[in-house]
Amino acid sequence: MNDDLLIIDTLSHGPLVWDGALVGLSDEMLASGTNPFRIAQELTTRLACKTVEEPDYFKQYVRAWEECGVRCVSWTLGAIHEQPYSLEAAYHNYGYMTHILDNRREFFKKILKAADVERAHSEGKRGIILNFQNLDHIGTDIDLLERFYQMGFRIMQLTYNSRNAIGCGCTEEQDGGLTDFGRSVIERLNELGVLVDLSHVGPQTSMDAALRSKAPVACTHTLAKRIYDHDRGKTDELLKAVAERGGYIGILAVPGFLTDRDDTTLDDVFDHLDYVVKLVGLEHVGLGTDFFGYSLPDNLAAKIDELLGILGFRPEHRASFRKKVVGFEDYGRFPNIIAGLEKRGYSDEEIRQLAGQNFLRVFRQVVG
Q: What are the residue ranges spanned by the domains of the chain?
A: 8-367
pLDDT band at 2 (very low <50, low <70, confident <90, very high): low
CATH homologous superfamily, domain 8-367: Metal-dependent hydrolases (3.20.20.140)
Cα–Cα distance measured from residue 236 to residue 239, given in angstroms and rounded to the nearest whole number: 5
Under DSSP, is residue 122 helix (H, G, I), strand (E, B) or coil? helix
For the stretch 261-316, pLDDT in tens is 989 999 999 999 999 999 999 999 999 999 976 678 999 999 999 999 999 999 99
DSSP for residue 129:
E
Q: How far is CA 306 from the centre of its chain?
A: 22
Cα–Cα distance measured from residue 351 to residue 340, given in angstroms and rounded to the nearest whole number: 10
The whole-number pLDDT of residue 292 equals 78
Under DSSP, is residue 52 helix (H, G, I), strand (E, B) or coil? helix
For the stretch 310-354, pLDDT in tens is 999 999 999 999 899 999 999 999 999 999 999 999 999 999 999
Provide the phi-psi class of 256: left if phi over 0, else alpha when psi is between -120 and 50, else beta: left
Cα–Cα distance measured from residue 131 to residue 89, given in angstroms and rounded to the nearest whole number: 13
Strand partners, 76: 131
Percentage of the chain modeled with pLDDT above 70: 99
Query: Mean pLDDT, to the nearest integer, of 26-34?
Result: 97
Query: Mean pLDDT, to the nearest integer, of 111-130?
Result: 98
How far apart, in Å, are the Cα atoms of 226 and each of 259, 354, 365? 11, 21, 29
The whole-number pLDDT of residue 1 equals 53
Strand partners, 12: 291
Nearest to 360 by CA among 158, 118, 182: 118
Write down the pTM of the prediction. Answer: 0.98
The whole-number pLDDT of residue 3 equals 73
Provide the phi-psi class of 213: left if phi over 0, else alpha when psi is between -120 and 50, else beta: beta
